[in-house]
Amino acid sequence: MKTPAILGGESAFREPLHVGKPNLPEKKTLCNYLDRIFNSRWLTNNGPLVIEFREKLEEFLQVKYCIPICNGTIALELAERALCFEDEVILPSFTFVATPHSLQWQRIRPVFADVGNDDVNVDPASIKTLLSSRTKGIIGVHVYGYPCDYSKINKIASESNVKVLYDAAHAFGCEVDGIPYAQLGDASIFSFHATKFFHSFEGGAIATNDEALAEEVRLMSNFGFAGGVLDQVDYLGINGKMTEISAAMGLAMLDSVEEIREKNRQNFELYKEVFAEIEGANLIEPPSSMTKQNWQYVVARMDENRFGLSRDMTVQALRAENIFARRYFYPGCHRMHPYRELYPSASNILPNTERLSEQVISFPTGQVINEEVISRIADCLCDISDNADQIRHKVE
């Protein structure tokens, strides 16, 4: 037992320990792809590496069409537009702000639904209460890679005659009930941001089994240019293309993805073991319906009464130890600009989101984390809990 750093003890880590430190592929594999870029001088505009990446993604995600995009946010915007989302779209508030921003940016009104009680994902019953004649779409977010209640959400959507988009930014390589996530809705988007377990520096993709939708997205993401012909524009489009360098990183990462998944799984198991001994730090575990996980988020729901300290004070005490655990997601998007001004009373109908966002702490995992680090993090949490009263007096 040591004195917590926030009370004057030495920090547990010399170097800051961050959530989302990027995983890396084999350098040699990436360099081989870089050689191809240098040899071809093809840097962007649907080059050979983007084509190869697209084909490998379709195979990996088990979906008919996958369009690589410059990032997950633009993928959301393009997919929403192709699905004719307008007016109002229902989505959870407990998500990264890119999800509502992608709607608001296109002057579509995001309507925030609550998560289920004791769940991190949107509650279909809450979606139902928000449906109106203005509802033109539903977005489900697979938070931390854990699946939304896709069968209920899809049923609500088809009964209301609206389309469903799944934000699978966290869910690369996951399956539920034996179904790959990319097959769950009318379309799904993925993010390949550097902090994601699988990435392409920056990047994203839109996945769908709908050929016409895929073609529309392809046109939209490249200024509406028809095929390879640069003077024929058949559609209103923007620039959402992925570059060759991103595709190179994505291809190299695909070679390491199973190794990284396994590393994440081992880390998760170790966290599970040590957190079981810490009263009030409840690890959020994947539901039994998940048949494939990526284990990329290690998130605990803190019970203040049992742990002895609020989530925010715990995060502060961890920072003093050089452990930069994150409040992910906090606050709910309904409390962020511009939504808090647009919907000042939204929190009244989002009680579960309010509670969840006050409780979650995300801990570091991935390639750079090992057993020793995890056990030191756990020791810090125990010391913080044991000294909760003193810490509270100090920071209050």
Ligand X SMILES: Cc1ncc(COP(=O)(O)O)c(C=O)c1O
Would you state the structure tokens that stand for residue 310, as one six-digit string?
Answer: 């609020």
d(C-alpha 31, C-alpha 28), whole Å? 5
**Could you tell me the smallest distance in angstroms from the CB atom of residue 222 to ligand X?**
18
d(C-alpha 81, C-alpha 187), whole Å? 12
Which of 5, 67, 68, 71 is the binder for ligand X (CB under 6 A)? 71
Question: 138 and 91 in contact (C-beta within 8 Å)?
Answer: yes
Count of residues touching ligand X (by CB under 6 A): 14
Nearest in space to 82 (alpha carbons), one of 67, 100, 101 = 67
101 binding ligand X? (CB under 6 A) = no
Query: What's 81-123 look like in SS3?
Result: HHCCCCCEEEEECCCCCHHHHHHHCCCCEEEEECECCCCCCEC
Using the minimum distance from each CB to ligand X, give the nearer residue, 194 or 368.
Answer: 194
d(C-alpha 178, C-alpha 241), whole Å? 31
Using the minimum distance from each CB to ligand X, give the nearer residue, 193 or 381.
Answer: 193
Using the minimum distance from each CB to ligand X, give the nearer residue, 99 or 160.
Answer: 99
Using the minimum distance from each CB to ligand X, give the nearer residue, 72 or 240.
Answer: 72
For residue 37, give Cα distances in angstroms to 45, 48, 123, 131, 205.
13, 9, 46, 49, 21
73 binding ligand X? (CB under 6 A) = yes
**Could you tell me the smallest distance in angstroms from the CB atom of residue 139 to ligand X?**
9
Which of 12, 30, 115, 169 is the binder for ligand X (CB under 6 A)? 169
Pick the piece of the chain touching ligand X (CB under 6 A) from 113-121, 163-171, 319-327, 331-339.
163-171
96 binding ligand X? (CB under 6 A) = yes
Using the minimum distance from each CB to ligand X, give the nearer residue, 63 or 122.
Answer: 122
Using the minimum distance from each CB to ligand X, give the nearer residue, 5 or 50.
Answer: 50
Other CB atoms closer than 10 Å to residue 357's CB: what's the count? 22
Using the minimum distance from each CB to ligand X, give the nearer residue, 42 or 201.
Answer: 201
Which of 20, 25, 47, 72 is the binder for ligand X (CB under 6 A)? 72
Which of 95, 135, 221, 293 is the binder for ligand X (CB under 6 A)? 95
Nearest in space to 78 (alpha carbons), one of 235, 201, 251 = 235
For residue 40, give Cα distances in angstroms to 26, 43, 47, 48, 244.
22, 8, 9, 9, 11
Rounded to 5°, the CA angle 123-124-130 comes to 100
Would you state the structure tokens that stand for residue 210, as one six-digit string?
Answer: 């709908």
Pick the piece of the chain touching ligand X (CB under 6 A) from 37-45, 71-79, 247-255, 300-308.
71-79
Which of 78, 141, 164, 165 is the binder for ligand X (CB under 6 A)? 141
Question: If you search the block for the tokens 């915007």, which residue do you land on?
Answer: 77
Which of 47, 180, 204, 280 is the binder for ligand X (CB under 6 A)? 204
Using the minimum distance from each CB to ligand X, give the nearer residue, 199 or 380.
Answer: 199
**Could you tell me the smallest distance in angstroms from the CB atom of residue 283 to ligand X?**
20
Query: 21-36: string of b/e by CB count within 10 Å (b at 16+)?
Result: bbbbbeeebbeebbeb
99 binding ligand X? (CB under 6 A) = yes
Other CB atoms closer than 10 Å to residue 117's CB: what's the count? 10
191 binding ligand X? (CB under 6 A) = yes
Using the minimum distance from each CB to ligand X, give the nearer residue, 102 or 387.
Answer: 102
**Could you tell me the smallest distance in angstroms from the CB atom of residue 342 to ligand X?**
20
199 binding ligand X? (CB under 6 A) = no
20 binding ligand X? (CB under 6 A) = no
Pick the piece of the chain touching ligand X (CB under 6 A) from 23-31, 94-102, 237-245, 388-396.
94-102
Rounded to 5°, the CA angle 248-205-198 comes to 55
d(C-alpha 343, C-alpha 322), whole Å? 37
- Which SS3 state, helix, strand or coil, does residue 300 take? strand
Pick the piece of the chain touching ligand X (CB under 6 A) from 91-99, 126-134, 287-295, 311-319.
91-99
Using the minimum distance from each CB to ligand X, give the nearer residue, 71 or 154.
Answer: 71
Looking at this protein, which amino acid is placed at residue 224?
G
Using the minimum distance from each CB to ligand X, give the nearer residue, 12 or 253.
Answer: 253
Q: Which of residues 170-189 bind ligand X (CB under 6 A)?
A: 170
To 10 degrees, what angle do helices 311-320 and 371-386 make?
120
Question: 54 and 67 in contact (C-beta within 8 Å)?
Answer: yes
Residues forming the site for ligand X (CB under 6 A): 71-73, 95-96, 98-99, 141, 167, 169-170, 191, 193, 204
